[in-house]
Structure formats: structure tokens, C-alpha cells
Amino acid sequence: MADNLPSEFDVIVIGTGLPESIIAAACSRSGQRVLHVDSMCAVFGGIYCLRHSVQCLVVDKESGKCKAIIDQYGQRIISKHFLVEDSYLSENTCAHVQYRQISRAILITDRSVLKTDSDQQISILTVPAEEPGTFAVRVIELCSSTMTCMKGSYLVHLTCTSSKTAREDLEPVVQKLFTPYTETEIENEEIEKPRLLWGLYFNMRDSSDVNRNTYNDLPSNVYVCSGPDCALGNDNAVKQAEALFQQICPNEDFCPPPPNPEDIILDGDSLQPEASESSALPEASSETPKESSNLRNPEEPSK
């Protein structure tokens, strides 16, 4: 990838979150030259890089704008716009940013919380807050048909806005819905609740509502994408992607729907009358086609 990577783009996207992926795909579809570490961008004509990291951004002192990045190979890649996921920014840039926190837990259980004859379903549950200052907990349970866990087990995600640590926020809900495995080792014991086989609690920062002005010395052509929020859907990521896309491509439609296949007119359709049965097929050209020029220069060393 380092040998034949172009040195100039219209948009460079750093990060593989949902907003970055949407913007990269939308910009590629609108005709922008996009470099992104994500395969979705390539579907619409962009270039994606695997095992490629960015060492630094190059900022012009006179204009204050970012004009290039330096990759791990020392190659300088020029662009007009740069989209960066929040976690890639330096500590100095984020020194005055006040982040909220999200409490999360990931569990593996032996049965579904939903009592039903089918063992293949996705369950979504909202547990209301019980005390002032706490928040409702969203529970999503995935079965093995979602390809997220082994057959006979279930993968459960619990998420809420943090008021304390993840364990303090979520463990009361876990104790209501599941039975710890250590308490159910007696054979032939009838168990009403699913058994908790494994669990992990952790906190992660929520950058979805961070104001751009709180970042220090951020160039005007560097756009920051947030990480995931604690909402159930992806509405915030789509809205953020659309807002940033309109700043980069103000005269373009954001992710327009594809045309109806029946409305697509291919070149040459219905332009020539149908050939008669006695008409001869055109003879193939005997000239040898010229070889296309190789876009890659083998003599140019990798930068």
C-alpha cells in the first residue's frame, strides 16, 4: 500500500467509527478523492488503507490550516479536509474538554431473559432508574443466530449514562435479571433466571455532545467525529455525519437514494435497430491493443 498510495486527496478520514464511515462513503459518492481506513469508502470509489497509521498533522503557520499528514512510512499526503475521530487527538488539544461517561457491561448467559418457545430472538429491554441521579439502563440480548456468541448461549449488552462506576451503575440490574453462576452449581436445582457465565464492566467516554470550540488550536479544516453515545440507535452518528458532509460538500446531496434499476438507461440501448438474421457480425480487429500505462512506478522508492 505504501508503494502506490497517491500523495494528494480531497478528504482524509482518520478513524473507523460510524460517522467517519458514513462521511467517507458520502464524499466518495459525490466525487471527492477520499482516503480512509475503511472498506465502505472503497465501495463508492474511495481508497482505504489497512495497517496504516498517521504520525502527525502538518499545519501551515500562515493560514493556520492543516495541509497534510505524515504516515508511518514518512510519506506526506496532502488534502483539503481532514476528519479525525476524537480519540486520535492529543491530550493538549483536548485539555479543556469536559467529557461525559458511559457505563457498559457485556455478559454471557445460558438462557434468554424472555421466556419463549423459540431460542433465536433479539430482546430489547429498558430498566427505569430507581434512585434520583441515576439513569435508565438499556439491555440488548443477542442469540447465537446473530453470530455473536456460541450456540446455547446469549450475549447481553447493558448501557447507561454514568453516575458512578460501571459496576455500581449496572450490577443492580444484572442481579435482578440473572443468577450468578457460583450460586447454581447444585445439580437438578430449578433455576428461574438465566445464569451469568461471564461478565465485564467498563466505562467509556461520551464525546457526542462536545462543542468544537472547546478543543485547543484546532485548524478550521479539521473536523472532529465523536465516538458512540449511549442511545439505542445510530441517529446521532447519522446527523453528525450529515452536518460535517454539508460543510465539506455544501452543494451536494447527502447519501442520495440509488436510482430505480428500471430507470437506468445504458449507453446504446434502443439506439440501433435490431440486426436481421442474415446480417453478418462485425469482424474483430486484427490490431493488437495497446497496453495500458502502469499507474505504479516500480522505480520510485517507497516513502
Domain count, the chain: 2
Task: Name the pLDDT band for 268 (thresholds 50, 70, 90).
Answer: low
**Those residues with Cβ within 8 angstroms of residue 195's Cβ, 6 or more apart along the chain or in another chain:** 109, 110, 111, 178, 179, 180, 181, 184
156, 148 contact by CB (below 8 A): no
Whether residue 287 is contained in a domain is answered as no
303, 75 contact by CB (below 8 A): yes
Q: Based on the domain organization, do 92 and 226 belong to the same domain?
A: yes
Looking at residue 60, which CATH number applies to its domain?
3.50.50.60
Q: What is the per-residue pLDDT across 80-105, written as a single tens digit (0 to 9) for each?
A: 999 888 888 888 999 999 999 999 99
Cα(49)–Cα(24) distance, integer angstroms: 13
Whole-model pTM: value is: 0.68
Whether residue 66 is contained in a domain is answered as yes
Q: What is the per-residue pLDDT across 169-213, written as a single tens digit (0 to 9) for each?
A: 999 999 999 998 765 455 555 668 899 999 999 999 998 888 889
Cα(72)–Cα(65) distance, integer angstroms: 22
Whether residue 145 is contained in a domain is answered as yes
Q: Based on the domain organization, do 60 and 76 belong to the same domain?
A: yes
Whether residue 107 is contained in a domain is answered as yes
Q: Based on the domain organization, do 18 and 46 belong to the same domain?
A: yes
Whether residue 278 is contained in a domain is answered as no
Would you say residue 5 has pLDDT above 80? Answer: no
Domain that holds residue 76: 8-96+208-248
Q: What is the per-residue pLDDT across 109-128, written as a single tens digit (0 to 9) for each?
A: 999 998 877 777 889 999 99
- Which of residues 172, 206, 240 is at a domain's end? 206
What was the pLDDT predicted at 28?
A: 74
Question: b or e along 140-160 (b: 16 or more beta carbons within 10 Å of the residue's beta carbon)?
Answer: ebbbeeeeebeeebbbbebbb
Q: Based on the domain organization, do 129 and 170 belong to the same domain?
A: yes
Whether residue 23 is contained in a domain is answered as yes
What was the pLDDT predicted at 303?
A: 42
CA distances from 63 to 80, 178, 220, 255 (A): 13, 58, 10, 31
Looking at residue 135, which CATH number applies to its domain?
3.30.519.10
Whether residue 88 is contained in a domain is answered as yes
Provide mean pLDDT across the span 147-162.
Answer: 94
Q: Based on the domain organization, do 31 and 67 belong to the same domain?
A: yes
3-class SS shares of the chain: helix, strand, coil, % to 5:
20, 25, 55
Instruction: Give the angle 114-118-119 at the CA atoms, nearest 5°.
Output: 75
| Helix extents (H) in the chain | 18-29, 39-43, 166-177, 235-248
Work out the percent of the chain whose per-residue pLDDT is above 70: 75
Q: Based on the domain organization, do 214 and 194 belong to the same domain?
A: no
Cα(80)–Cα(96) distance, integer angstroms: 27
Q: Based on the domain organization, do 43 and 191 belong to the same domain?
A: no
Whether residue 104 is contained in a domain is answered as yes
Q: Based on the domain organization, do 218 and 130 belong to the same domain?
A: no
Q: Kindly report the number of other CB atoms within 10 A of residue 236's CB atom.
A: 17
Cα(25)–Cα(34) distance, integer angstroms: 9
